[in-house]
Amino acid sequence: GQQLNQSPQSMFIQEGEDVSMNCTSSSIFNTWLWYKQDPGEGPVLLIALYKAGELTSNGRLTAQFGITRKDSFLNISASIPSDVGIYFCAGLSGANTGNQFYFGTGTSLTVIP
Amino acid sequence: DTGVSQDPRHKITKRGQNVTFRCDPISEHNRLYWYRQTLGQGPEFLTYFQNEAQLEKSRLLSDRFSAERPKGSFSTLEIQRTEQGDSAMYLCASSLVGSSDTQYFGPGTRLTVL
């Protein structure tokens, strides 16, 4: 199946610092989604990207759909303690594989107050 | 609350027993998905429905697993003869056709098989 490589696997940062994480694929995707998941809960949608090159913001979060359509980036500015959690990217490749989303393995974020 | 809901939130069962989970999608959403997530991994696709039709099933969905969405609204996922390897979080998501399949997840059902 499709493989999504998400990096870094984990991050420990000081409150107020900016965070960057990315997701790469061996295949072209038509849609990229970024989710945040807290322990014992389902993933919560943060940002959806639908076009190559698209740059979308949601508060302190900014995500980009890579030009090659094989990668995506998520940035968090001025991190705060409630940013702690696991961040997942998810990609949808389209017709040949139905409507199946593939998820990365997650980036675990710890924010030190 | 009009989000995706799942019931139960937690289930503990003995090996060999059957379990059934329920998912209620966002009311106007016509697509419904089931995923399985194990510790330290991202969700893995199991199956999805458009209205009442089951359109795709993953190879992960063994013949012990069956999913239904009889009236195109809520869905059930049944696991027969549970095994310890079935222990995982089972997530349901829904989306609206024409919205680029942006999926919204429920809180999940945590299954523990003893």
Confidence of residue B114 (pLDDT cuts 50, 70, 90): very high
Residue A2: predicted pLDDT:
62
Tell me: pLDDT of B17 over 90. yes
Categorize the per-residue pLDDT at B58 as very low, low, confident or very high, splitting at 50, 70 and 90: confident
Q: Identify whether the C-beta of residue B74 lies closer than 8 Å to the C-beta of residue B25.
A: yes
* Residues B43 and A86 sit within 8 Å (Cβ to Cβ): no
Written as six digits, the tokens of B43 are 């969700």
Using an 8 Å Cβ cutoff, are B113 and B86 in contact? yes
CB contact under 8 A, A92 and B101: yes
Query: How would DSSP label each residue in chain A?
Result: ---EEEE-SEEEEETT--EEEEEEESS--SEEEEEEE-TTS--EEEEEE-STT-EEEETTEEEEE-TTSSEEEEEE-S--GGG-EEEEEEEE--GGGTT-EEE---EEEEEE-
Mean pLDDT of B93-102: 80
Residue B9 scores a pLDDT above 50: yes
Contacting residues of A for B101, CB less than 8 Å apart: 31, 92, 99, 101
Reported as a single tens digit per residue, the pLDDT across B19-37 is 999 999 999 899 999 999 9
Per-residue pLDDT reduced to its tens digit, B59-86: 888 899 999 999 889 999 999 999 999 9
Tell me the pLDDT band of A96, cut-offs 50, 70 and 90: very low
How far from the centroid of its chain's Cα atoms is residue B45's Cα?
9
CB contact under 8 A, B101 and A103: no
